[in-house]
Chain A
């Protein structure tokens, strides 16, 4: 039977293993703009394999569109593997640095208490502000930022989300799908 595609829009994380070559990030990211999709966050970082970089991209999409973007990504020559992850199948984490106003001692104390509750850390302090480091899920960050709003947030820097599959399966796993993509790519 024909597949019925999920048309519900939700947050997906697309994880790619790519060769660290010239222009690879723009090659990947243009596929999103081509389909008129806005990237929520994009993170690129080294892996255990030299010369291979992992790119994690977060975006709101429906099932059909994410499949198509993934399909186009797999066709790019420097792309080694692509995995579509959603909240049921993966663990997502991000880091945020938050600079918050704290001119009085009482405010500082209160902020430190909140920070402890969230298992965040104060990593810098001076007489007028505190800088907080927090690691965790987006929801946790949102909640913390919401609490800190009362004191006055001066600046926020976020890493964007990285994600990894739950359980034993990895992005390196071979599949029939992966083999099929090798056909459309260059077969040398």
Chain B
């Protein structure tokens, strides 16, 4: 059947069961938006204030739901505004399909109005970037893009349509094929470069690991982002309980293993807990699941867990031995590998080892004090907000505090830019998460520096009537940078003090949202209760001391137990 090219784009989205997209229209993508108008009852488009917000929202949607996020933008500045969002999704392996349009074929390469080489820019920050110059390619490219984004190690894919490809006179052959079937249809297979096969972890590799576990006296597990992405939390929990080993959780692994579980030692790495980092140096077998040993975990890769046998379980072969040399590895999705391991794994007991490590965990009770502390804020959130609330953070001190003091119990509960460290990620991600999880409460935890970057998305929160609560850890400074300046740069606070507007309460009100300012625990309790009950978006501006620090801390490049701050 012949249908218009733009209709095929919409039908391809429906094939993938896409019902929500985020984006921003513009000149070259007009034809696509015109078609979207016909589909407005089937595909809900969320118009953000800025393309970056749309990119983060699609990312937050993908991370929280496990589905592929979709984001639209126009050519030129529209596409470049996406780039931070694409890179964020890329570094954290989040499946998002970005769709942009470019100028027409006749103008391509002539520096036309709003022209930029979008696929060239996106090349290093996507799994694949397609430039579509022929309308007939649309179904094949769309199907392949979704398959690439969601499979293997997930990640972002960019499709750039030339404007003439989307012209109303472009008619193409199209037949609706649901996504479960279209992985095998011609369009995909033709363009496919990979053999059609399902990943099956090597049985022998799995058996080797089983032997290593049997020989270990002091095993330690690291729960990485791969556990979250493959939704392997149940298999991981069973694995951890059977091995009876302490579990350290990376920033990206938050939600992969219950934060309140008796085996958890908390975060590992630069701001890792004493228990996690000490365990790393004293264990005899370290099993990292879906973890790439980034420089924030293995601060000094050459010295990292040098004395122990390191086993890496990862879906991506290129991650093996990239940062830290390992003794053994298993390739495959975390869930599959763990399920295979669990089948044969007997119940172990490592009480002596656990008694050595687990008592090192810091007591997590917020101390009483006259002034508000970060831990008190998070304590209030922990007690008052629903236990399954989704938490989106920005980047910096508040991020580390939130991950340290809040407990995450399921994948997709914590949305944070761990790899790319994108300030301004949180609000967009919270919008995406709320759209994908209307039944859940979504909290956006941010700092005053980060919030200032993309606070214009409050307009989106207000317009779509999203009950997102933004909690601003307002210490009047770029806290994490100031912390480094305090500790490593002789307190020379170069351009980090934020003694300037806006007034976040008034800002919230200007956007038609509820605003609160709190400076004690009691005020925080009241404000959060009101915010939770008000039925719309709210901003809670929490006044903090400028010199609050994230503890503990290990310097970049140092040994994992060489704490600069305890």
Q: Flag the segment in A67-75, A90-98, A119-127, A142-150 that touches B.
A: A67-75
User: How many residues from A make CB contacts under 8 Å with B?
Assistant: 32
Q: How long is the Cα–Cα vector from A149 to B332 in the complex, in angstroms?
A: 57
Question: In the complex, which residue of chain A has the Cβ closest to the Cβ of B327?
Answer: A2
Q: Flag the segment in B105-113, B148-156, B384-392 that touches A.
A: B148-156
Question: A167-185 vs B: 1/0 string, CB under 8 Å?
Answer: 0000000001100111111
B197 within 8 A of A: yes
CB distance from B150 to the nearest CB of A (A): 9
Q: Flag the segment in B118-126, B342-350, B368-376, B393-401 that touches A.
A: B118-126
Contact A188 B120 (CB under 8 A): no
Contact B193 A183 (CB under 8 A): no
Q: How long is the Cα–Cα vector from A115 to B325 in the complex, in angstroms?
A: 50
Question: In the complex, which residue of chain A has the Cβ closest to the Cβ of B314?
Answer: A184
Contact A27 B193 (CB under 8 A): no
CB distance from A73 to the nearest CB of B (A): 9
Contact B321 A67 (CB under 8 A): yes
Task: Contacts A71-B318, A77-B194, A180-B317 given; indicate if A186 touches B202 (C-beta within 8 A).
Answer: no
List chain A residues, Cβ under 8 A from B319: 184
Contact A23 B120 (CB under 8 A): yes
Question: In the complex, which residue of chain B has the Cβ closest to the Cβ of A70?
Answer: B318
Partner of A188, one of B151, B310, B332: B151
Q: How long is the Cα–Cα vector from A79 to B326 in the complex, in angstroms?
A: 26
Interface centre among B151, B196, B202, B317 (most CB of A within 10 A): B317
Q: How long is the Cα–Cα vector from A80 to B333 in the complex, in angstroms?
A: 22
Task: Contacts A1-B327, A183-B199 given; indicate if A26 touches B318 (C-beta within 8 A).
Answer: no
B198 within 8 A of A: yes
Partner of A5, one of B131, B325, B333: B325
A86 within 8 A of B: no
Q: How long is the Cα–Cα vector from A14 to B296 in the complex, in angstroms?
A: 31
CB distance from B18 to the nearest CB of A (A): 18
Q: How long is the Cα–Cα vector from A98 to B184 in the complex, in angstroms?
A: 53
Task: Contacts A74-B318, A75-B318, A177-B317 given; indicate if A183 touches B332 (C-beta within 8 A).
Answer: yes
Contact B317 A74 (CB under 8 A): yes
Partner of A176, one of B192, B196, B202, B326: B202
Question: B188-228 vs A: 1/0 string, CB under 8 Å?
Answer: 11001111111100100000000000000000000000000
List chain A residues, Cβ under 8 A from B318: 68, 71-72, 74-75, 181, 184
List chain A residues, Cβ under 8 A from B194: 77, 182, 185-188
Contact A184 B119 (CB under 8 A): no
Question: In the complex, which residue of chain B has the Cβ closest to the Cβ of A177?
Answer: B317
B377 within 8 A of A: no
Q: How long is the Cα–Cα vector from A3 to B328 in the complex, in angstroms?
A: 10
Question: B303-335 vs A: 1/0 string, CB under 8 Å?
Answer: 000000010000111110110011100011100
List chain B residues, Cβ under 8 A from A183: 152, 199, 315-317, 331-333
Contact A80 B321 (CB under 8 A): no
Question: B54-72 vs A: 1/0 string, CB under 8 Å?
Answer: 0000000000000000000
List chain B residues, Cβ under 8 A from A2: 310, 325-327
Task: Contacts A34-B124, A77-B128 given; indicate if A184 touches B152 (C-beta within 8 A).
Answer: yes
Q: How long is the Cα–Cα vector from A34 to B331 in the complex, in angstroms?
A: 25
Question: In the complex, which residue of chain B has the Cβ closest to the Cβ of A75?
Answer: B318
List chain A residues, Cβ under 8 A from B188: 188
B127 within 8 A of A: yes
A165 within 8 A of B: no
List chain A residues, Cβ under 8 A from B513: none
List chain A residues, Cβ under 8 A from B129: 23
B147 within 8 A of A: yes
Restricting to B256-293, which residues have a CB under 8 Å from any CB of A? Answer: none
Interface centre among A1, A27, A80, A183 (most CB of B within 10 A): A183
Contact A188 B127 (CB under 8 A): no
List chain A residues, Cβ under 8 A from B316: 75, 183-184
List chain A residues, Cβ under 8 A from B322: 68, 71
CB distance from A70 to the nearest CB of B (A): 9
Contact B123 A185 (CB under 8 A): no
Contact B131 A184 (CB under 8 A): no
Q: How long is the Cα–Cα vector from A184 to B196 in the complex, in angstroms?
A: 13
Contact A30 B124 (CB under 8 A): yes
Contact A186 B131 (CB under 8 A): no
Contact B153 A184 (CB under 8 A): yes
Contact A184 B195 (CB under 8 A): no
CB distance from B196 to the nearest CB of A (A): 6
Restricting to B80-116, which residues have a CB under 8 Å from any CB of A? Answer: none
Partner of A180, one of B127, B128, B183, B331: B331
Q: How long is the Cα–Cα vector from A36 to B98 in the complex, in angstroms?
A: 29
CB distance from A93 to the nearest CB of B (A): 29
Contact A27 B327 (CB under 8 A): no
CB distance from B524 to the nearest CB of A (A): 45
Partner of B148, one of A30, A72, A181, A186: A186
Q: How long is the Cα–Cα vector from A78 to B128 in the complex, in angstroms?
A: 10
Contact A188 B153 (CB under 8 A): no
Contact B195 A182 (CB under 8 A): yes
User: Which 4 residue pairs spanning A and B have beta carbons closest together?
Assistant: A184-B316, A71-B318, A186-B148, A180-B317
21 contacts between A and B (CB under 8 A): A2-B326, A23-B131, A26-B120, A27-B123, A68-B322, A71-B317, A71-B318, A77-B127, A182-B194, A182-B195, A183-B333, A184-B317, A184-B318, A184-B319, A185-B152, A186-B128, A186-B147, A187-B152, A188-B147, A188-B184, A188-B196
Could you list 19 further interchain pairs (A-B, Cβ under 8 angstroms) beyond the known A3-B321, A71-B322, A185-B193? A1-B327, A2-B325, A19-B193, A26-B120, A30-B124, A68-B318, A72-B318, A74-B318, A78-B193, A79-B193, A180-B331, A184-B152, A184-B316, A186-B128, A186-B193, A186-B194, A188-B144, A188-B147, A188-B189
